Structure 1
Amino acid sequence: MEKTWLPTRTIPGTAVSLTSLGFGAAPVGNLYRSTSDDDAADAVEASWNAGLRYFDTAPHYGLGLSERRLGGALKGRPRDEYVLSTKVGRLLRPNPVPSGRDTEGFDVPDDLLRVRDYSADAVKRSVDESLDRLGTDRIDIVYIHDPDEHWAEALGGAVPALADLRDQGVIGAYGVGMNQHEMLHRFVTETDVNVIMLAGRYTLLEQGALRDLIPACQRRGVGIVNVGIFNSGLLSKDRPAADATYNYEQAPSALIARANLLADICEIHGTTLPAAALTFSFRNPAVTSVVVGMRTAAQVERNVVLAQQSVPESLWTDLHERGLIAETEAQLNELKSPGTEAPPRAEQ
């Protein structure tokens, strides 16, 4: 991979290296509101020029629009110089009764519908269809997408299918992406996933994944791609808006108050809430990469600036002493040291 100013970390047990900051392509799939083709292409271009070399998408994002736009924007780039990930679990099929617009958060026509299917056959079809939409000959990482109500099917179908594709060299790594840490812990401890995509459960606002999931990843040699670090926008501004969202819904008043308290403390230490939210993930050596959703070139430039800002160590000490973050410097130092050798992978 071409060198960039961004540090890279390699997913344990693989040859897949990710830049510390990655491009999340849900917004260019018209998440919440429409984005023009030109703005989407400019966002990818700005990311590339800034040194980002990890790009994540999914069929779910805009009913395939995100994959098509991302593939088009990366066309012509040296394929060995970037890492591309997508997801399986939702097949896109013609909608027999379209009513106008998508009802799952994307401003796109509902001429397609999502069919949940975590079987081995569906996984292989989904990968083939994603390759076609992306216009590429390979996908580096494939995640099982949101299998919350489909544990048994994912375990019996998607996991062995993706493990087989990895072992054949068709993909470089596979894993699971979810908005919860409990089931991710099961995947980490009961399967041979290489990496997880952890959404919103290890942030400046909350660190539930630190109790068992992150230590399990360390023991098992599983990479962590941390996403949702701004908790649906609650931490994305210097001060949270009164109508800020959390988990894609109106944020409870108690969480808005907590975010305002975090902002107060950040100001005391000469930094901002979004800069601290981004840096928080970078501090943890168990985190392989942080992926942030970006819609425009301006958003890319803002996040790159945030990633380069220096956040004083005194902030973390203060937050820990106030009980606002869970881990201490000693715990982070333990993660930096050689951990227990990963046990043998579970038989599939």
Structure 2
Amino acid sequence: MKHRKIANTSVELTELGFGASGIGNLYRVTPPRDAHAAIEAAWDAGIRYFDTAPHYGLGLSEQRLGSALRDRPRDAYVVSSKVGRLLVPNEQPRGIDPEGFAVPDDLRRQWDFSRDGVLRSIEATLERTGLDRLDVVYLHDPDDHWRQAAVEAMPALADLRDQGVIGAIGAGMNQSAMLARFLNETAADLVMLAGRYTLLDQSALDDVLPAARKLGKSVVAVGVFNSGLLSRDLPAEGMKYDYQDAPPALVARARAIADVCTAHGTTLPAAAIAFPRTHPSIINVTLGVRNAEQVVRNVELYDQRIPEGLWDDLRARGLIRSDVSTVNDSGRSPQCP
């Protein structure tokens, strides 16, 4: 699997990444054997970038990921985690985590983008994972905390990076406008862009992607299926878009894109994974998984070669924006044979 370097750093990511929210029991229980098998399958497929966070299962994701990786050669893989949500004792537990993870709520999340909060969060993550370091650290969903995140948290991460403790730093969010601010106004090396550069939403072309291009910084794309609507060959009513039931108009548009994909000999999910990587600033697509079967499917989709004419056809039909560029720095689409 191809590796691409985070700009201006020594950290390299495989083009396909392992998103570890699912092994943190997102929405439902993932048995320990399934979580371990998913990581093993990813390793066997050549995936060497693994992304987690304290938020995912109140630390369960970090624990499981660290347990599966800690006996591997440390220089052979990259792990990212996040700061901004400290895990603290829950004085009023009610049984199950109220934020979508099927885990006991003996802990709760506490927003904290202070310097001390950043240091405490990283220390706790290292304890949970059992790893000796984190390669990449993101600010996690700082939407309502711009000032503290930009003035306290990012400088704290920059100090750790400059000391060689962390390889690269950034921010991850479901919006693109503030991510552009992090690129433009802080020491961030990269951003994790969730759902804003997909076959159904190219709004990142208005802010974060031009900023990354201008500044020579990098972008990791997540949420490329937009919560599921782009995950099947034929989208259906009742599927999710950005965590909600997809509006009928978006389902119809996804079906139209799927029809064009079929005409070009490929599938909607394969195109959804390939599309973000046509932008020169996007170096990785990370997909959430919870078992080995999902890993194998994702790798098969990643390996599919997308005919260059697909993007032209989608533009011509008005199904993606006309200003979408699908040619990289070498002058050709990276998904074309």
Do 2:279 and 2:328's aligned partners in 1 also have CA atoms closer than 8 Å? no
Q: Secondary structure at the match of 1:232?
A: helix
User: 1:112 is matched with which residue: 90, 107, 111?
Assistant: 107
Distance in 2, Cα, partners of 1:109 & 1:43: 23
Question: How far apart are residue 212 of structure 1 and its match?
Answer: 2.4
> Residue 287 of structure 1 corresponds to which residue in structure 2?
282
Question: How far apart are residue 242 of structure 1 and its match?
Answer: 1.4
State how 1:159-308 maps to structure 2 within 5 Å: 159-308=154-303
Distance in 1, Cα, partners of 2:294 & 2:322: 30
Do 2:233 and 2:267's aligned partners in 1 also have CA atoms closer than 8 Å? yes
Do 2:278 and 2:328's aligned partners in 1 also have CA atoms closer than 8 Å? no
Residues matched between the structures, number: 331
Q: Could you list the structure 1 runs, at least 4 aligned residues long, displaced by more than 3 angstroms after superposition.
A: 331-337
Between 209-218 and 156-165, report the one with greater CA deviation: 209-218
User: 1:92 is matched with which residue: 66, 87, 108?
Assistant: 87
**Which blocks of at least 5 consecutive residues in structure 2 are unaligned?**
332-337
User: 2:305 is matched with which residue: 306, 310, 330?
Assistant: 310
Do 2:161 and 2:168's aligned partners in 1 also have CA atoms closer than 8 Å? yes
Question: How far apart are residue 333 of structure 1 and its match?
Answer: 3.8
RMSD: 1.3
Question: How far apart are residue 214 of structure 1 and its match?
Answer: 0.6
TM-score (norm: length of structure 2)? 0.96
1:76 maps onto 2:74 in alignment: no
**Which blocks of at least 5 consecutive residues in structure 1 are unaligned?**
1-5, 338-348
TM-score (norm: length of structure 1)? 0.93
Counterpart residue type for residue 264 of structure 1: D
Distance in 2, Cα, partners of 1:298 & 1:334: 31
> Residue 34 of structure 1 corresponds to which residue in structure 2?
29
> Residue 49 of structure 1 corresponds to which residue in structure 2?
44
Do 1:93 and 1:112's aligned partners in 2 also have CA atoms closer than 8 Å? yes
Q: Deviations over 1:124-183 (max 9, x none)?
A: 000000001110010000000000000011011101100000001110010000000011
Question: How far apart are residue 328 of structure 1 and its match?
Answer: 5.7
Question: How far apart are residue 270 of structure 1 and its match?
Answer: 1.4
Counterpart residue type for residue 80 of structure 1: D
Q: Deviations over 1:69-125 (max 9, x none)?
A: 000111210000000000000000111010011111111111110000000100000
Distance in 2, Cα, partners of 1:323 & 1:184: 27
Do 1:143 and 1:176's aligned partners in 2 also have CA atoms closer than 8 Å? yes
Do 1:230 and 1:274's aligned partners in 2 also have CA atoms closer than 8 Å? yes
Over the matched positions of the two proteins, sequence identity in percent amounts to 58
Do 2:278 and 2:327's aligned partners in 1 also have CA atoms closer than 8 Å? no
Q: Secondary structure at the match of 2:144?
A: coil
